[in-house]
Chain A
Amino acid sequence: MNRFRKAGSILGATIAAALAVSGCATGSAPVTDNTPITLTLATFNKFGYSDAMLAQFHTLHPNITVVQNIAATSQAAQDNMFTKLAAGSGLGDVEAVEVDWMPKLKQYSNLFVDLSTSETKGRWLDWKSASATVNGKLIGAGTDIGPEAICYRSGPFVKAGLASDPAGVAQLLTGDWNNYYAVGQQFAAKKTGTAWFDSAGATFQGLANQYQNFFEQNDGTVIATTNPDVKAAFTSVLNASATSSAHLQEWGTDWNAGLANGAWATMLCPSWMLGVISGTGPKVTDWKIANVFPNGGGNWGGSFLTVPTQGKHTAAAKELALWLTAPEQQIAAFTTTGNYPSQVAAYTDPALTGAKNPYFSNAPIGEIFAARAKAVTVTPYKGVKYAAIMQAVQDGLTRVESKKQSIDASWAQVVSDIKALS
């Protein structure tokens, strides 16, 4: 609490918004080849853009220095983005955007530079570029996608008397979500001292991404409160959670500590989660990847790089964004953090297909995630309110997991919270 400054900042934001709406358009200065400039690249979590990679860009463009700002969570990056978009200044030259909040930005496509060029045509999977295109204008260059596998710890599996090699676990978990929960029940009955999965919230994400229209219809009508699939998913994951969950809300300090201490035996594993697991829990050494996912395939997350028009060097920034999202760089990012490329040309590259991850007992991640990406059949529709609805549902799951409410009471509150978004 800063007594004086906080009051100022709220009022300041008001003024900033006023300036933004009054239309202070900042033009982009043309890039002259030799003037030294610095570009800021704003990302979050782990994008896999190493210092070496940014240095390589500097060698290609000696006048451009790239500085990367990394936000701790996607949420923090999102908040920062909207605050500064409204203010009309302060954003990085290149800003990373996650797929779940892309729909909100697509409403303001005039605030972003069109990134399409002759070389970007056909660079990405169709559905990937489609989710960042507004009336033919490409406002986001795809970085990665998040095809999901299951990550598990072999130690607790052995303790519970279950198959513990990747092929055996894949066989064990082939089936729908009820099968995943049933195996979890068996596992819990053995009382290994480890939970089956981390949280109902994280598991729910896997379910939500398997429906074409889960929360909203294609025209944006909110159906979250009436769609029987949503309530069924909500109830079933919470029923399973009672015996199987570590009850640690994803991304929280306890969740991070839980991951570092190996508090759960399985988790949904989009490719970008590999970097999170190996980065948070280097002490836990028995994580493995099973080439399987409940109910077929699923994609969770994936991001884009955008170039806001408010930047001073938009032409250079566009060049940087397109260079970083070229297949070669995304393959390099994949080998450092596991973020699976969204670029079609990358999929046949031996550097990708032959990639192995030493932390996960040398799992052939190139092969596994290629198969997981092929298994994705549905492209969920995510509208303007998707992120806010998801937050309301996640809050509802957390309320039950923290034993504050019963499933029914919590669902009733979810419904009223979603109605309040209208």
Chain B
Amino acid sequence: MIRRAVFRWSGKEGSPRRLAVSQQLGRWDVKLSPYLFVSPFFVLFALVGLFPLVYTGWVSVHDWDLIGGEGAWVGLNNFTFVLQQRQFWIALRNTLSIFLLSAIPQLIAAVTIAAVLDTNIRNKTFWRMSVLLPFIVMPVAVALIFGSMFGERYGLVNTTLAHIGVGPILWHTDPLASQVAIATMVNFRWTGYNTLILLAGMQAIPRDLYESAAIDGAGLVRRFFWITIPQLRPTVIFVIITATIGGLQIFDEPRLYDQIGLGGADQQWMTMTIYLYKLGWTQLNFGRAASVAWLLFLVIVVIGLANLAITRRIASSESA
């Protein structure tokens, strides 16, 4: 279409000057339009992705009050301060631990449930909707309900455990117990969502693979491990990567797990984002908070790259 326009111009107009201009326009058109067509994404990305990232970096090298604003340039002081804090390393430990406690069981459960939903069951839509139900509940409501369920003395979980003779578990005191409780909330909310994504992946697997395997005598379990799982790999990679990004930025659940919201008296469930919040919003030290944000970004990049390397390796070993 572009070419035709150029020809029409050159055909009608005799003036060499007009010709040059129109050819020039045409050339730009050919060269630039593709970029213009894809530019909305990049403009948006620059606006909501790149700019905040760079700006946070700018904040992190300054003495910056949350409300008062920019202060003196301090170089990397905020970073060295934060890296020397005991609480930073505890926050990093908690974040990774909650991430593992939620991501692994979640993935296993989601794959299993998806496999069940993929079989010929009655009322498919009903079951599929049901698994998504927890996802619709507001995270704040989930956190409040679970927070009181996991109360140490009067909570539902411990009073129920007491009936079967299991001593009270210190859900708000013991680091591991509190992190398990928080991971439970995350799993409650996200398992259904991941199930549906994995289910979509499973439905795209050609049915004749299963049929021929069945003819060859492969049982249900064998078909699951030798056809479903390998075929599902791209979907699993997607789920793992989104779970990594989300899991490392976990905030709502630990924030609402107790009445104070700063991760416990001994930082038992203080995650990176809670630490960031504590520095920025309760101590009003936005510079230090920004440096934590950047460190968290780096952690996510590192883990993301590790993820990619591992999954690639599996993929290549599979195709070989």
- Known contacts A1-B186, A15-B52, A18-B55: A252-B259 contact under CB 8 Å: yes
Question: Contact at B266–A399, with CB atoms within 8 Å?
Answer: yes
The answer to the question of B282 belonging to the interface, with a C-beta cut-off of 8 Å to chain A, is yes
A404–B261 CA distance with the chains assembled, in angstroms: 19
Instruction: Answer yes or no: A63 CB below 8 A from chain B CBs.
Output: no
Q: How far apart are the CA atoms of A83 and B276 in the complex, in Å?
A: 13
B287 to chain A minimum Cβ distance, whole angstroms, is 11
Q: Does B147 contact A (CB under 8 A)?
A: yes
Contact of B189 among A1, A8, A387 (CB under 8 A): A1
Provide the B167-190 mask, 1 if CB < 8 A to any CB of A, else 0. Answer: 000101100000000000010011
Known A1-B246, A405-B266; judge A251-B66 contact (CB<8 A).
Answer: no
Contact B251 A1 (CB under 8 A): yes
Number of A-B pairs, beta carbon distance below 8 Å? 140
Question: Which residues in window 379-418 of A have CB below 8 A to B?
Answer: 387-388, 391, 394-396, 398-399, 402-405, 413, 416-417
Interface status of B307 (Cβ within 8 A of chain A):
no
Assess whether B85 is in contact with A85, with CB atoms less than 8 Å apart.
no
The reply to whether A254 and B66 contact each other, CB–CB distance below 8 Å, is: no
Residues in chain B near residue A20, CB distance under 8 A: 67, 69
The stretch from A32-40, A103-111, A138-146 touching chain B is A103-111
B266 touches A3 (CB 8 A): no
Chain A residues in 8 Å Cβ range of B154? 253-254, 257-258, 261
Q: Which of B59, B69, B265, B276 has the most CB of A within 10 A?
A: B265
Q: Is the CB of A404 within 8 A of B281?
A: no
Residue in B67, B258, B266, B283 whose beta carbon sits within 8 Å of that of A86 in the complex: B67
Tell me which residues across on chain B come within 8 A of A76, comparing CB atoms: 261
Instruction: Judge whether B87 is part of the interface by a CB distance below 8 angstroms.
Output: yes
Contacts of B259 in A (CB 8 A): 72-73, 75, 249, 251-253
Chain A residue with Cβ nearest B276: A10
Q: Give bound CA distance, A72 to B139, whole Å.
A: 17
In the complex, the answer to whether B48 meets A11 with C-beta atoms within 8 Å is: yes
B249: Cβ under 8 A from any A Cβ = yes
A6 CB-CB contact with B under 8 Å: yes
- Asked whether, in the complex, the Cβ of A6 is within 8 Å of the Cβ of B246, the reply is yes
Q: Is A387 touching B52 in the complex (CB atoms < 8 A)? A: no
Q: Mark A8-32, 1 if CB is under 8 A from B, else 0.
A: 1011101101101100000000000
* B155 pairs with A108, CB closer than 8 A: no
Q: Which of A17, A20, A249, A421 has the most CB of B within 10 A?
A: A17
**CB of B96, distance to nearest CB on chain A (Å):** 15
Determine which of A18, A85, A86, A391 lies in contact with B282 in the assembled complex, contact meaning CB atoms within 8 Å: A391
A257 vs B260: C-alpha distance in the bound complex, in angstroms? 17
Whole-angstrom CA separation of A247 from B270 in the bound complex: 21
Contact between chains at B273 and A254 (CB < 8 Å):
no
Tell me the complex Cα distance, A249–B72, Å. 40
Q: Which one, A3, A14, A83, contacts B242 given CB within 8 A?
A: A3
Say whether B170 contacts A387, CB under 8 Å.
no
Given contacts A2-B139, A104-B284, contact A254 B151 (CB under 8 A): yes
Q: Is B245 on the interface with A (CB-CB < 8 A)?
A: yes
Closest-by-CB residue of A relative to B243 is A3
Partner of B281, one of A82, A252, A394: A82
A395 to B170, CA, bound (A): 16
Asked if A60 CB lies within 8 Å of chain B CBs, one says: no
Question: Are A416 and B281 closer than 8 Å at their CB atoms?
Answer: no
A10 with B67: in contact, given A3-B245, A399-B266 (CB under 8 Å)? no
Interface assignment of A248: CB less than 8 Å from any CB of chain B:
yes
Partner of B67, one of A3, A15, A108: A108
Q: How far is the CB of B227 from chain A (nearest CB, A)?
A: 29
B67 touches A14 (CB 8 A): no
Q: Distance (Å) between the CB of B44 and the closest chain A CB?
A: 12
How many Å lie between the Cα of A112 and that of B250 in the bound state?
34
User: A8 to B273, alpha carbons, bound, how many Å?
Assistant: 13
Q: Which residues of A contact B293 (CB under 8 A)?
A: 10, 14
Chain A: CB-nearest residue to B253: A1
- Minimum CB–CB distance for B258 against chain A, Å: 6
A249 to B253, CA, bound (A): 19
When distances are taken between beta carbons in the complex, the residues of chain A under 8 Å from B48 are 8, 11
Decide: A253 and B147 in contact? CB cutoff 8 A.
yes
Q: Does B118 contact A (CB under 8 A)?
A: no
Q: Mark B193-225, 1 if CB is under 8 A from A, else 0.
A: 000000000000000000000000000000000
**Nearest CB to that of B250 among chain A residues?**
A1
Residue of A nearest to B70 (CB): A21
Contact between B252 and A6, CB atoms less than 8 A apart: yes
Interchain CB contact under 8 A, A404 and B173: yes
The answer to whether B67 touches A402, judged by C-beta atoms less than 8 angstroms apart, is no
Output the least CB separation between B195 and chain A (Å): 15
- B281:A3 contact, CB within 8 angstroms: no
- Chain A, residue nearest B53 (CB): A11
Are the CB atoms of B261 and A75 closer together than 8 Å? Answer: yes
Residue among B151, B170, B173 making CB contact with A253, cutoff 8 Å = B151
Known: A1-B246, A10-B273, A261-B154. A21 touches B69 (CB 8 A): yes
The residue of chain B having its C-beta at the shortest distance from the C-beta of A246 within the complex is B153
Q: How far is the CA of A85 from the CA of B66 in the complex (A)?
A: 9
Given A2-B139, A18-B55, A7 and B245 contact (CB-CB distance below 8 Å): yes
Our pick among A254, A395, A402, A420 for the contact of B155 (Cβ within 8 Å) is A254
Across-interface contacts of B265 in A (CB, < 8 A): 249, 394-396, 398-399, 402, 404
- Could you write out 12 A-B pairs with CB less than 8 Å apart? A1-B252, A3-B246, A6-B252, A11-B53, A85-B67, A86-B66, A108-B68, A249-B258, A252-B258, A253-B151, A391-B262, A399-B265
Q: Given A1-B186, A15-B51, A399-B265, 5 more contacts at CB 8 Å?
A: A1-B190, A7-B249, A104-B284, A254-B151, A398-B265
Give A contacts to B, CB under 8 Å: 1-4, 6-8, 10-12, 14-15, 17-18, 20-21, 72-73, 75-76, 78-79, 82-83, 85-86, 104, 107-108, 111, 248-249, 251-254, 257-258, 261, 387-388, 391, 394-396, 398-399, 402-405, 413, 416-417, 420-421
Question: Considering the complex of A and B, which 9 residue pairs feature the smallest CB-CB distances, nearest first?
Answer: A3-B246, A21-B69, A398-B265, A257-B154, A11-B52, A395-B265, A402-B173, A253-B148, A251-B259
